[in-house]
Amino acid sequence: MAYNFSQMTSFFFSLLLVFCFHFSDAQKVPAMYVFGDSLMDVGNNNYLKISLAKADFPHNGIDFPGKKPTGRFSNGKNSADFLAEKVGFEASPPPYLSLVKSNKSNGFPITGVSFASGGAGIFNGTDALFRQSIPLTKQAEHYTKVYEDLVQELGSAAAQDHLSKSLFIVVIGSNDILGFFNSGSDQAKKTTPQQFIDSMILALKLVLTRMHDLGARKYVIAGIGAVGCCPSQRNQNKDECNEEANTWSVKYNEALKTMLPGLKSELQGMDYSYVDAYSVFSRFIETPSTFGFTEVKSACCGLGNLKARVPCVPVANYCSNRSNHVFWDLYHPTETAARIFVDTVFYGTQQFAVPVNVNQLIAT
């Protein structure tokens, strides 16, 4: 059987259409590079020997595909996964340490890497609370390795082009704030809260600048959520939110929102979406029924008052319905809360993401 020219061309064009459709529909950015703390960690801490900030045991992951603990501090997927799904990937990019430890000679995946680590802060010393994690500056050092690899593989121009369209996601600062307001912290004796948040902003600015030197252009930067209302804080405060921690989180967020436009004018080609985790989580707590939540104070998994005296360890109890809880454990949101958070900042109005939402950032 023979095909004529027009049949052949039409066949060829439908093939092309299928491929083009698949690329533009499925994958909106070439790669995602994720920096941050336990809100984003997808398993880097599994590779740390002595860390207390680990989640690679049950009941973490009971709602994850395969019902297995992966190192995510969640009953299921976390915000990194939902962001990845929104831009067309199956899940968060893999943890940097898993790639390094498996010693693959084929380098890092072109679609991105996650450097996030539970317990991490902007400051190197913040992780002292959890004995061991990978602080933001160290995460940036790890990114340098990935960057050098990419330049070697693609050449400088193609690597720059790839990175300029990729998302650099930074979710950090909660642990610095929580550590500072932990009674008896050394930092709190040496500096005022205002000095502390000012130095957080300065340190973060340096890291964002370093990333720009290494090709980053599109940043998704989260403010700190209402950390004073997490079960661990309520448990220490007669079940009420720790207003001091919340107040300073808001002040930090304001300072961050002031710093970013200045940084954008300093760094050529920089664009960003500042996502307001505080507003989103405050709405969960103030109008829970809008989101199907019936429990905003207690953790789902843990032991003792508000299931927050003991973390979500294997002997802890967990709630039967995870979709009506905001918090999975004493610090972290449920999969449901993470999903709604990402939906809100991806397409949300200026109340939740400025100057543009994540979807608009991708389109610029």
Ligand X SMILES: *[C@@H]1O[C@H](CO)[C@@H](O)[C@H](O)[C@H]1NC(C)=O
Catalytic residue set:
38, 329, 332
**Among residues 65, 155, 262, 292, which is the contact residue for ligand X, using CB under 6 A?**
292
199 touching ligand X, by CB under 6 A: no
295 forms beta bridges with 325
Q: What does DSSP assign to residue 37?
A: S
CB of 195 to ligand X, least distance (A): 15
321 touching ligand X, by CB under 6 A: yes
The candidate with the shortest Cα–Cα distance to 71, out of 56, 49, 81, 93, is 56
Nearer to ligand X, 235 or 324 (CB): 324
Nearer to ligand X, 117 or 246 (CB): 117
What x-and-dash track marks residues 80-119 binding ligand X by CB under 6 A?
-----------------------x-x--------------
Nearer to ligand X, 124 or 287 (CB): 124
Instruction: List the beta strands (DSSP E) in the chain.
Output: 32-36, 112-114, 167-171, 218-222, 271-275, 295-299, 301-302, 317-318, 325-327, 353-354
Q: At 144, list the tokens.
A: 């340098």
Nearer to ligand X, 134 or 275 (CB): 134
CB of 124 to ligand X, least distance (A): 4
Nearer to ligand X, 137 or 237 (CB): 137
317 touching ligand X, by CB under 6 A: no
CB of 268 to ligand X, least distance (A): 25
CA distance 364 to 360: 6
**Among residues 323, 347, 356, 359, which is the contact residue for ligand X, using CB under 6 A?**
323
Q: Which of residues 135-164 bind ligand X (CB under 6 A)?
A: 137-138, 141
**Among residues 7, 9, 10, 294, which is the contact residue for ligand X, using CB under 6 A?**
294
Q: How many residues bind ligand X (CB under 6 A)?
A: 11
Q: Residues 136, 204: contact at Cβ < 8 Å?
A: yes
CB of 198 to ligand X, least distance (A): 14
- Note every long-range contact of 194-203, with CB atoms under 8 Å and residues 24 or more positions apart, other chains counting: 194/251, 197/248, 197/251, 197/252, 197/255, 198/255, 199/123, 200/122, 200/123, 200/173, 200/176, 200/252, 201/252, 201/255, 201/256, 201/259, 203/122, 203/123, 203/136, 203/137
